[in-house]
Amino acid sequence: MRHRRIRQIMQVLLLILLTNGFFLIEYQLVPRLGDRAAAISGFAFSMLLPPLRVEQPAFSQAAVQMGPYGIQPLSVIGLKSLLYAVQGIPPVFSDPEHSFQVQAAGDPPGETVADGVYQAPIASSIFMDEEGGNEEIGSDEDTGQSGPFAVNNDSGLSLDITTLAASPLGFKQGSTGPKVLILHTHTTEAYVGGLSGNTSKNSTDNQRNVVRVGEEIARYLDQVHGISTIHVKTIHDLPDYNYSYTNAMKTIQASLKQYPSIQVILDIHRDGVSDGQPFRTSLQSGEGSLARVMVVAGSPASGLPHPLWKENVKFGLIFCNALSQRVPGLVRSLYISEYRYNQHASTGALILEVGGDGNSIGEAIASTPYIAAALADVLK
């Protein structure tokens, strides 16, 4: 009995020492080494303390908290972490500051960008009154006004919006080669309606998902405004949604290599909210109902390098102003995120959230000629 107590005391002391070392490694070193290092370190740590490991229920993405950088400390079965490391699957991690609750297995929680850092979906903290045009942000964002549209700065970084909006862009439309790249990180994001009548939030049917919206924008740019445009329809969010941004970055890099003349990169999405309810945002015009647009610009606030971010914010401001001049009220806001969303690849890179999962595909398509015309105004 005496030897057992001594052994238990030694285990507690060892736990204290290893915990301190573990958190130093996990939070300082591993984030710089990538996901596989995080998984392997988690496996090693869990193997050192077998009596203290906590068995978890069968893994379900619909039941865990997700966050950046690594694993669930002490709660992930060691073997599962090792399998993640071998297969290259990003492990999960619980961090109260960055976590949010996954809603359903069919609506995965987030993305892993090219450098292995988790990012929460853009819609996770954005809510909006249907038809009302009033943006309500569920966080401590700086919200300002730049002319006819709101600017929501969630990056925590200081910006002189007025000066940026008044300064010229660093690029102009050239004479040869494609100038615009359109792609879809979440290619299967769908709208209400379509030929199938299916109300699922995601679909591989390009007639009812965001690919159709991108196709219409590309057509107007090419045929109406004479701006050569490349539209990539590659599916990036299947089979693993968590690698959407990693896959999309490969598309961006390949496209920039093939077409070095590209100056604008538009990642077309549709919005949604994390409570699972359909989200519809529309504007009534003389020509019918239009899906409203939120423009998203990234920043280096997450700690990853993004030297071009202010140029992209400037582009977002100028584009939003042009679109607002075309159709007042069509822009919901310019949202400046703490994450990069692959926009560090080039200047002129933005996310356009055209409508939400409660909008019809017709409403989203109805907004596309104005989006294309506004971009043409900017690139004159």
pLDDT of residue 332: 96
The candidate with the shortest Cα–Cα distance to 55, out of 82, 84, 75, is 75
Task: Give whole-number Cα distances, 276 to 70, 104, 105, 316, 346, in Å.
Answer: 26, 8, 12, 28, 33
Which CATH topology does 122-379 take? Aminopeptidase (3.40.630)
Rounded-to-integer distance, Cα 349 and Cα 248, Å? 13
Amino acid (one-letter) located at 140 = D
In degrees and rounded to multiples of 5, residue 65 shows phi and psi of -90, 135
pLDDT of residue 190: 95
Rounded-to-integer distance, Cα 256 and Cα 346, Å? 9
Task: Label the pairing between strands 142-146 and 180-183.
Answer: unpaired
Residue 140 has pLDDT above 50, yes or no: no
For residues 236-271, b (16+ Cβ closer than 10 Å) or e, as one string? bbeeebbbbbbbbbebbeebeeeeeebbbbbbbbbb
Q: What is the pTM of this model?
A: 0.65
Rounded-to-integer distance, Cα 338 and Cα 302, Å? 6
Average pLDDT over residues 367-375: 98
Residue 24 has pLDDT above 60, yes or no: no
Task: Give whole-number Cα distances, 359 to 244, 279, 280, in Å.
Answer: 23, 7, 5
Say if residues 192 and 275 touch (Cβ distance below 8 Å): no
pLDDT of residue 11: 75
Give the tens place of pLDDT for each residue, 312-345. Answer: 999 999 999 999 999 999 999 999 999 999 999 9
Give the tens place of pLDDT for each residue, 236-264. Answer: 999 999 999 999 999 999 999 999 999 99
pLDDT of residue 122: 40
Rounded-to-integer distance, Cα 216 and Cα 343, Å? 22
Every domain of the chain and the residues it spans? 2-99, 122-379
The candidate with the shortest Cα–Cα distance to 68, out of 108, 38, 25, 45, is 38
Average pLDDT over residues 143-163: 81
- For 170, other C-beta atoms within 10 Å of its C-beta total 12
Residue 173 has pLDDT above 90, yes or no: no
Rounded-to-integer distance, Cα 342 and Cα 304, Å? 11
pLDDT of residue 379: 92
Could you list the beta-strand ranges (E) of the chain.
111-112, 118-119, 126-128, 135-137, 142-146, 149-153, 180-183, 229-231, 264-271, 282-285, 288-291, 293-297, 331-336, 349-356
